[in-house]
Amino acid sequence: MPYGCTVTAVNISEEQIKHARESCKGLPVDVVATDYRRISGHYDKIVSVGMFEHVGRKNYRTFMDVVWRSLDKDGIFLLHTIGGNLSWVNCDPWISRYIFPNGMLPSIAQTGRAVEGRFVIEDLHNLGPHYEKTLLCWNDRFQSARGRLPKKYDEVFRRMWEYYFLSCAGAFRARHIQVWQIVMTRTGAKQPPRLRG
């Protein structure tokens, strides 16, 4: 068993749950179909990747409260999120309508307010300058798979996703949006946090 860990994964998407369960067969991974607000148990490490953008600003503090109550006293929390340079109350209207309904990019200020009084930020790293390449690679892979897409994914679907990938790549290149990885602890690490093991 790699790294000697057991994992609890939480999701509400039936398709993602099915895929995760198939991918993790034979591994010590429990994929739980539940809303993040209903998580029970305690964990020594919690990782949230690409999810904070979907909880909505009204739920930022609730999200942090759930992590707080679920994280062991000496645990480590990694928040990976796309974020915006400015505090907004909604997302780009086109992306919200066609790609991520009700999605929203948090700012550092909004994230900080949600964290305040809960966690010590141990490290904040911005991957934004590199993320343009990720979007361009996603677009390349999407284009190369175009011929293998089922018939229900028509030319409108293809153009919509191409526009999404390339416009987001442009937003990263212009440095209007970022990708942050924020490492937090409840009481402050006595030594630098270890994310593995």
Catalytic positions, written as ranges: 168
What SS3 class is residue 99?
coil
* Contact by Cβ (8 Å): 88, 106: no
* Contact by Cβ (8 Å): 83, 148: no
For residue 109 the two structure tokens come to 């200020």
What SS3 class is residue 98?
helix
Q: Which of 177, 23, 27 is nearest to 108 (CA)?
A: 177
Give 26's DSSP letter: T
For residue 50 the two structure tokens come to 């690409």
Q: What does each C-alpha distance from 30 to 10, 43, 47, 88, 192 come to in angstroms?
A: 9, 13, 15, 35, 29
